[in-house]
Amino acid sequence: MLDRSSKIYVAGHKGMVGAAIWRALERKGYTNLIGKSSKDLDLRDQPAVRAFYKEYHPEVVIDAAARVGGILANNNYPYQFLMENMLIQNNLIDGALHHDCRKFIFLGSSCIYPKLASQPLKEEYLLTGPLEPTNEWYALAKISGVKACEAIRKQYGKDFVSLMPTNLYGPYDNFDLETSHVLPAMMRKFHEARENGHAPVTLWGSGTPKREFLHVDDMADAVVFAMENRFEDNLYNVGTGQDLTIRELAELIQKVTGHQGDIIWDSGKPDGTPRKLMDVSKMTEAGWKAKTGLEEGVRDTYRWFVGNISQIKEVKF
């Protein structure tokens, strides 16, 4: 069993997910947290990562570090999304194995599942069909991480667990219009349109695809739950088990931001996967459920966005 002084390394602790995990661990009284910025430790550099493990010997490693982005970024930078993510996770996973870490939690994404898999998405659907082309590079990297953790679990009996969240959002998200995901991109567009006299907002696609969204604080809570408990399997979906259309999401964000102009749907742009709803029954059976409703979470995120608009994080390649 872990105690509150156990040494825990949160890789990517400055990102949206990593920062939320760090806050959740602090709230629960964990006092021996390790965080390294990308300037202090380049996770793509294997010798540097090995030196880190040798110096710090963390008992638990939570891998929340990744190159992430939306459809446009995935499409424009396929090599970075594939190679950088594999370098980051391979170095962390291999280092944790060879320095005898007690627990490793690997964070992935629902995009690991086939584009046309039956809904809701079950863990057993992994590698049963073609991926969504607009984000296959990121998905392939994350699949390799899942399988690496599974192989270690099988071969060495180590407690390596993979958690696959649905679409995440919340404070410290990336709101750059070229590289962000759909919810923060919409939030910024509607906010700026309202500030510009309620100008029309143009959104990609038809608005008909359905998506599921999980507040990042709920994801962090799931990670801490997984850290504190021994799971029987290697792969678990994390989500709310509820989805809505992109059009419905746009209308919700429009309401929260107070935008009163028109919404224009550019059907010439790609929709992506028709639907991505997670089957979260395994996590429910393990004893964890999401707590934050979507409107509550969107309002929380928008308050943070407005309060931090002068320093909104923008990721550039």
229: its two tokens: 């408990």
Binding residues for NADP(+): 12-18, 107-110, 142, 165-168, 181
**DSSP letter for each residue of 86-108:** HHHHHHHHHHHHHTT-SEEEEE-
Distances 142 to 57, 120, 194, 242 between C-alpha atoms, Å = 25, 20, 37, 23
Binding residues: 12-18, 107-110, 142, 165-168, 181, 189, 204, 211, 271
Active-site entry in 138, 169, 172, 236: 138
Cα separation, 312 vs 19, in Å, equals: 15
Output the 3-class SS for 215-263: EHHHHHHHHHHHHHCCCCCCEEEECCCCCEEHHHHHHHHHHHHCCCCCE
Binding residues for substrate: 189, 204, 211, 271
List 263's β-bridge partners, or say none: 201
Per the annotation, the verdict on 138 as an active-site residue is: yes
272: its two tokens: 């992506």
Q: Could you give the residue numbers annotated as active site?
A: 138
